[in-house]
């Protein structure tokens, strides 16, 4: 028993360093693919606003639940270190070529398996994100290539008209 009492501070020290190292490694992974970081391409002046279909956004909602909600939350409110995909997110991407966001998503998401989703899945999720950020559906589906999406822009959305978004979890807690 005395031996355990003597070892307890050392044991807790080792456990604390292990937890710190694991947290640092986890943060490094999250920082390797910064969420929502916009890589600007060319000017979007004169590009028409993107169009998507309701069916495409519905498919995107299902794929989002499977591949994205674990990090970004079921209601796009963000969770843990992942940012919300409403509100400020729109300001980062709006009025730019939709290819910017599509290319980012295709190469960096989902964080656990970057590039694992098909071009169709990414276009569907993009349609879902447009819908959830107040962009009305149209009659034409979003294209599934960066080249074609470079010819349309993420519509400018008035973030002030969107309801405030509360995070779905507190950092360091599990989603409910």
Quote the pLDDT of residue 102. 97
Quote the pLDDT of residue 64. 97
Q: What mean pLDDT is predicted for residues 23-44? A: 42
Helix (H, G, I), strand (E, B) or coil at 49: strand
8-30 confidence digits (pLDDT tens): 444 334 333 333 333 333 333 33
Q: How confident is the model at residue 80 (pLDDT cuts 50, 70, 90)?
A: confident
For residue 36, pLDDT over 50 is answered with no
Quote the pLDDT of residue 169. 44
Q: Where are the domains of the chain?
A: 54-157
Q: For residues 176 and 5, what is the distance between their CA atoms, to the nearest angstrom?
A: 38
Quote the pLDDT of residue 63. 98
Q: For residues 29 and 49, what is the distance between their CA atoms, to the nearest angstrom?
A: 34
Q: For residues 173 and 176, what is the distance between their CA atoms, to the nearest angstrom?
A: 9
State the fold for domain 54-157.
Cytochrome Bc1 Complex; Chain D, domain 2 (1.10.760)
User: Quick one: which H or E segment has residue 105?
Assistant: helix 98-108
pTM of the model: 0.69
């Amino acid at each position: 028993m005395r031996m355990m009492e003597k070892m307890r501070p050392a044991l807790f020290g080792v456990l604390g360093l292990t937890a710190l190292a694991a947290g640092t490694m986890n943060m490094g992974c999250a920082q390797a693919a910064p969420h929502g970081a916009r890589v600007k391409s060319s000017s979007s002046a004169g590009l028409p606003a993107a169009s998507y279909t309701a069916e495409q956004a519905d498919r995107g909602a299902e794929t989002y639940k499977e591949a994205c909600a674990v990090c970004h939350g079921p209601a796009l409110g963000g969770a843990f270190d992942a940012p919300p995909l409403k509100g400020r997110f729109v300001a980062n991407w709006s009025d730019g070529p939709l290819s910017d966001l599509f290319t980012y998503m295709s190469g960096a998401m989902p964080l656990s398996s970057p590039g694992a989703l098909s071009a169709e899945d990414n276009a569907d999720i993009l349609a879902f994100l447009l819908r959830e950020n107040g962009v009305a559906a149209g009659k034409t589906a979003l294209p599934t290539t960066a080249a074609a999406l470079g010819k349309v822009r993420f519509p400018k959305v008035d973030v002030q008209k969107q309801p405030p978004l509360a995070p779905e979890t507190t950092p360091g807690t599990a989603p409910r």
